[in-house]
Structure formats: structure tokens, C-alpha cells
Amino acid sequence: MKISCIAIDDEPLAVKKISAYIQKTPFLELVAECRSAFEAMEIINNRAIQLIFIDINMPDLNGLEFVKSLTDKPYIVFTTAYSEYAVEGFQVDATDYLLKPITYNNFLKAANKVKSLIDLKANSLKESVKTTASHLFVKSEYKLIRIELDDIKYIESQHEYIKIHLINSAPVMTQMSMKTIEEQLPSGRFMRVHRSFIVNLKRISVIERNRIVFDGKVYIPVSDQYREKFQEYIDGNFD
């Protein structure tokens, strides 16, 4: 699986260069190139983004302010022409810092650093879930909990945790990424419909204006990224 990325820079040549570097790197996927932080917000709200390359010195909302505003932070690599921003950049948990003009060699070093962290985290989190055809075991608060797949209504992302919402019992929280749990679940029974939601297809009974409704009060949006696939499922199962 490739690492999904966006490039953010108000300078056209700068954002084109980073975009070209992303496309040149086999394990990266360019989702979008943005000329402002506001443009990037719309992308992040609808797509699962793992890595952001972002310029610090931008008008209206600079890179540092933008990253501080994010509640669910992807990996961050700052790009800037001003070395004095380096310390401040790392204070907001940036993974790396690239000083302009950026060479592909330096870009690749930063990208490989992010890849190593993602691989390490993925291997660690996979140990937190074990799945069979009918149930899964997850670690939660030092306990190993068995969850029947049929009992799951939907799964919600909450920063570095996921919340598994169940039919007749309280939700279960576990430290895991959406990508990890998505890979463990049978694709014919579960579908990701938003960067923050996976639904049990068998539990869908009400759909209203591109939203899945559970219990008459929980509205789960179907984002643009997943709408076509979800519509294909609806067309084939809701005659």
C-alpha cells in the first residue's frame, strides 16, 4: 500500500516540485496539490491522508498554524526557505524539515523516515487484533476482548484509537489505525465509507442524503472518495 500524500505551498513552482517528487517515489501516492491551507482542509476532511508536505511561510494561515489546528494529525514534513523555523516546526511534532531549494535526495530521506515510522507502527498495531471468520479479539485497557463481527454496527476513528460501536453493549476502544482494522475485516461484510468510519454492511437499514443512519440519531457521511464503491453496493443489494 502506498502512503497517501498532499503537497501544500502557495508558490506554484514549489508545489509542483514537491508533487513531482511524490509521483517519482514508488511508495508515495499524490492525492492533491494545494495552494493554501484552506484548500488542504477540504481534502483532509474527505480523504484519509497519511503524510503532508507543507510550506511554513504562507499567507492567511501559515503551515505551523494549520498543523496546530489539526485534531487528527498525519505525518508532517515542513518545507521552507527559512532555517529559523526548524525548531518551531519540531515543536508541533513534525517528522522532518526540508530547507529550500529541496533536492530529491533530501526529499527521499524524509520520505523514507516517514515510511519507517508507518511500517513500525503498523507491525506493532497488527499484534493488537486477531481476526477469524466470525469474530475478532482486540486489546483494550489491558484486556483481550472478543467481539462478534455480526455485533459490530460501525467503527469510528478517534485520533490514534478506534471506537467499535456494538449492537447491545458499550463501545470498545482500542489503539489501532483505521487502515489496520480495515485490512483485518472481511471486505464483503464491512466497507469504509469515510476517512473516519467503517460500517457493517449487514447493519445498514436507513440511508438518507448520502448518509447512513443508525438508531435514528447517528448520521455517518459517505465521502466522495468512497461514494462510487458504496453506490455499487447499494445498487446491487437494495432493489
pLDDT digits (tens, 9 = 90+) for 67-122: 888 877 899 999 988 776 655 655 677 899 899 999 999 999 999 999 998 887 77
DSSP 7: E
Q: Are 158 and 115 in contact (CB under 8 A)?
A: no
CB atoms within 10 A of CB 168: 5
pTM of the predicted structure, to 2 decimals: 0.64
Domains in the chain with CATH codes? 3-125 (3.40.50.2300), 129-237 (2.40.50.1020)
Q: Is the pLDDT of residue 21 over 70?
A: yes
| Contact present, 11 and 4 (Cβ < 8 Å) | no
Residues 11 and 35: their CA atoms lie apart, in Å, by 7
Q: What is the pLDDT of residue 51?
A: 95
The pLDDT, as a whole number, for residue 86 is 58
Q: At what angle do helices 12-24 and 104-126 cross, to 10 degrees?
A: 60
Over residues 35-47, mean pLDDT: 88
Which cell numbers in the block locate residue 23?
A: 509521483
How does DSSP classify residue 201?
A: G
